[in-house]
Amino acid sequence: MTEKEKQQAGELYMGGDPELTADRVKAKKLCAEYNAAPYNDFQKKERLLDRLLALRGENTWIEANFFCDYGYNIIIGDNFYANHNCVILDCAEVTFGDNVFIGPNCGFYTAGHPIDAGQRNSGLEYAKPIKVGSDVWIGGNVCVMPGATIGDNVVIGGGSVVVGDIPSGVVAAGNPCRVLRKISENDKM
């Protein structure tokens, strides 16, 4: 089994593997080109996202600077907006539903490292997928950690650290992120 196959299977793998390193270099080059493209060169930015991401829906906009590890593990639905300094460490699949809005300085981290120092120092790591549902607003400076799932129709408060599953239809915040309340008709302005 190759290191990439181990990575995709959720097993411990060597992150410094030459194949994985080459894949990261390719993605980093595309991210650098995307970030350097003129803001209003919409066609160029769309072409770069098409080359970088596994799949993206209609109306995708990601502000510079944007960084990811591989790109080929990122799936984005329709009407997606990510503000400045979005980081997606997509060693495992990261899926976003439709109508997702992400504040500035947010990170989605599928990558993890063993607690055991010997394993960690040997270069082993693991990856767990992240899933974000539809109709989700994620405030600024939020970190979504390996294996987390965020349901549909959710608001995540700024500065939160999402370490587990957040159910649909709620406002959640904190470190660790926890449900504060359900979204109701009273929330309409």
Go through the domains of the chain in sequence order and give each one's CATH number. 3-181 (2.160.10.10)
Which pLDDT does position 11 carry in this prediction?
96
Q: What are phi and psi of 141, to 5 degrees?
A: 60, 35
pTM attached to this predicted model? 0.96
Q: Is 84 a catalytic residue?
A: no
Which pLDDT does position 1 carry in this prediction?
95
- Catalytic residue, chosen from 4, 47, 84, 113, is 113
Which pLDDT does position 188 carry in this prediction?
83
* E strand spans, 49-148: 55-56, 60-62, 66-68, 74-76, 80-82, 86-89, 94-96, 100-102, 107-109, 111-112, 124-127, 130-132, 136-138, 143-144
Which pLDDT does position 146 carry in this prediction?
98
Q: H or E segment at 173?
A: strand 170-174
Which pLDDT does position 163 carry in this prediction?
97
Which pLDDT does position 189 carry in this prediction?
78
- What is the pLDDT tens value at each position of the chain, 189 positions in all? 999 999 999 999 999 999 999 999 999 999 999 999 999 999 999 999 999 999 999 999 999 999 999 999 999 999 999 999 999 999 999 999 999 999 999 999 999 999 999 999 999 999 999 999 999 999 999 999 999 999 999 999 999 999 999 999 999 999 999 999 999 999 887
